[in-house]
Amino acid sequence: MRRLSLLLVVVATLAAGCTSSTQSSGERTVVLVTHDSFTVEQSVLDRFRADTGIKVDVRKSGDAGALTTQLVLTKAAPIGDVAFGVDNTFASRALSEGVFAEYRPADADKGPQKFAVDGLNRLTAVDVGDVCVNVDLAALAGRELATPTSFEDLADPRYKDLLVIEDPSTSSPGLAFLMATVAHYGTKDWPNYWTRLKDNGVKVVAGWEEAYTQEFSGSSGKGPRPLVVSYASSPSAEIGTDGKPKTAAVLDTCFRQVEYAGVLNGAKNQDDARKVVDFLISETFQKTVAESMYVYPVRDGVALPEAWQKASPRPETSASLPPEDIQANRERWIEQWRTAVRG
């Protein structure tokens, strides 16, 4: 454990030194630490650089959970200036650890503030991605099965060995789906539901990439399972040549996942980091999030792509849990999940 701690300190120190060197070279650079799913066209970053004189150095760091853990472990020597991708299932942990500095963008009231989780304005909402079960419509039809419409259907023997999910201890969509079952069944009964899913042959994999692109039959990987935990927006990526979606989201299984950005406490370049947070909720960036990251923009008045209107309408209602409940119970719930599913 001591060797691991020493290694983390060394890594953090080197990262901080790298950030410092970019500043000392005379170029204004903001290090943006984010998760592996962050995607933005280089032209968008180039436009921001031309407008502000700030270069954004994007450094990816695993899933939302891994990102949060790294930010907490290196908070004494921040590995960047601003972070994006901590979601509402991990936000309370980052806030309780003092990872983020106070900052409220001028445009916060144009949509992001509706998803505020902190009275000190240390985190600003950037996008919303409702986590839901997705179905391969043709595969189910080929098995002469109706599309499931509820949590209960997923535990029905008719759908045995058809569902793949992400491990909630290693994946933010997996954790969001666990939270959805807690919200639906209550804090006492949800483990029993997971025992039923286990008995019905649910498969657990480490993360979304493996679940969706390798195990799910409705994606490019053409895997064996027609049910997967993904996003309400995912069907927009699976439009057939006839213009019709090949997959669909089971909207009664959704949990609202909100991703946030914030200036890192102790960052060497906080002034320019604030400008990057401003940029992430600007109309320019918000117009890109649907097609680049398959999530919904938080800024009011930003239209969704035409394909989304048919395949991926924004869910009218999604389950949620108070951040303080998540913070107080997250680790215990994950342990209970392990007991129910892993045995």
Question: Taking the model in full, what pTM does it have?
Answer: 0.82
What is the set of domains in the chain, with CATH numbers? 2-127+258-301 (3.40.190.10), 130-256+311-341 (3.40.190.10)
Cα–Cα distance, 145 to 167 (Å, whole number):
26
Where is pLDDT greater, at 204 or 9? Answer: 204
Amino acid identity of 87?
D
Cα–Cα distance, 97 to 87 (Å, whole number):
15
Output the CA torsion sign for 99, 103, 105, 111.
positive
pLDDT tens-digit series, residues 194-251: 999 999 999 999 989 899 999 999 998 899 999 999 999 999 989 988 888 999 999 9
Both tokens assigned to 48:
């921001």
Res. 4: pLDDT tops 70: no
Q: Position of tokens 């609202």?
A: 256
Confidence grade of residue 171 (pLDDT, cut at 50, 70, 90): confident
pLDDT of residue 323: 84
Burial class (CB in 10 A: 0-12, 13-18, 19+), 205: buried
pLDDT tens-digit series, residues 138-166: 999 999 999 999 999 999 999 999 999 99
pLDDT tens-digit series, residues 280-325: 999 999 999 998 998 999 999 999 988 887 888 888 889 999 988 9
Residue 256 near residue 88 (C-beta atoms within 8 A): yes
